[in-house]
Structure 1
């Protein structure tokens, strides 16, 4: 994991520290009050999880291209790139929490700075070091807007060999043998579970992102080495929805963290 350079943190503190604090966050400036009825807070009244994008002000570059993804399980992913200065993309993973009002999320980052955001309808406002809304000429630039739901990836669900990369939150070696294929000509699924090959059927509702595997059977080879076969088969029986984006497939249950992650390894049969 790459952490953000010191120059970014210093720049953020300078920009945020110089802004005039907006203590009220009142409706007069187009936002919701920070002190709100807990029953109608951003946390429980808005569809806040998802990816937010924008270009934040930068003290010594053209802007900080930012992608922040918030997950229902309290996990975040942050990507930043310093435009006009470097093509390198810095990636950061961690956890976040909410303030007592349920209006502000706080990233639990290794270094402080630029880690608090007021949550609005499809928008995040970056707050200053005191947790206040930034005002002044650059106020409108401290915004990240929610990206639309991801469309189907360049690699389609069907007839692609999906290689397992993570199971129940645990990354797997790149050369592990587990993969799955959804046939596009018939509602059939097959693949390798770690030791044995498996097969079955599947039902897909792409509009609702619903996917179900049923009638799973498998070969009966004796497996001497340790593998993840039983855990993988449990996932196939327990997941109830999926996400497909950027050549990555996840199998999920409800709104919990993904049960399994896959990456496209080429057309089926390769």
Structure 2
């Protein structure tokens, strides 16, 4: 019981620190590297699809259509067994997110907005349509896996599962 309480307190503290840090929400850059939908529209007919959504060379085009898809997983929860999370990234740069707390009778949480890729194709930003919600950041580990980051875009130091994997 003591170990569970300590883990719950650490997660609660991390959530509070993240909430405080996000009080000053920075605007997403409007550079070409943060607008994958625009890049997809600008592609020429001779462009070949990328084998991996994360190009090896910085500044290389990001293949939005290859990266768009559905990512699922169970993210950690401070006071429940986990949060079943589904993120659907559309090729037009929009997304939907669905979250369901395990072992709770609470209704499913849903949201939508736009997604962009930043930091030389290393980070995914979900910018919600609801301005009362904070942006969500994920590291792009591969074309088939993303990992939730803290509100400042830094990795969450934890052995808990923060990864979502492609289901389609």
TM-score above 0.5, yes or no: yes
Question: What does the per-residue CA deviation read over 1:131-163, in whole Å, with 9 as the maximum and x for residues that have no partner?
Answer: 12222322xx00000003xxxxxxxxxxxxxxx
Relative distance call for 1:85 and 1:11 in structure 2 (3 A) is farther
Q: Which has the higher contact order (CA 8 A, sep 6+)?
A: 2
**Alpha-carbon contact 1:80-1:91 (below 8 Å) kept:** yes
Of structures 1 and 2, the larger Rg is shown by 1
* In structure 1, C-alpha distance between the alignment counterparts of 2:72 and 2:58, rounded to whole Å: 28
Determine helix, strand or coil for the equivalent of 2:121: coil
The correspondence for 2:166, drawn from 130, 133, 146, is 146
Report 1:101-250 matches (<5 A). Answer: 101-109=120-128, 110=131, 111-112=133-134, 115-119=136-140, 120-138=142-160, 141-148=161-168
Report 1:40-51 matches (<5 A). Answer: 43-44=62-63, 47-51=66-70
Q: Does 1:98 align with 2:106?
A: no
- 1:130 is displaced (CA, Å) by 1.6
Q: Which runs of 5+ in 2 are unaligned?
A: 1-10, 19-53
Relative distance call for 1:98 and 1:52 in structure 2 (3 A) is same
- 1:86 is displaced (CA, Å) by 2.4
The alignment's TM-score, normalised by the length of structure 1, stands at 0.39
RMSD value over aligned CA atoms? Answer: 3.0
- 1:59 is displaced (CA, Å) by 1.0
- 1:47 is displaced (CA, Å) by 2.3
**Alpha-carbon contact 1:16-1:129 (below 8 Å) kept:** no
* In structure 2, C-alpha distance between the alignment counterparts of 1:69 and 1:56, rounded to whole Å: 16
**Which structure shows the bigger proportion of residues in strand conformation?**
1
Per the alignment, residue 74 of structure 1 pairs with 93
The alignment's TM-score, normalised by the length of structure 2, stands at 0.60
Count of residues in correspondence between the two structures: 118
**Alpha-carbon contact 1:13-1:129 (below 8 Å) kept:** no
**Which structure shows the bigger proportion of residues in helix conformation?**
2
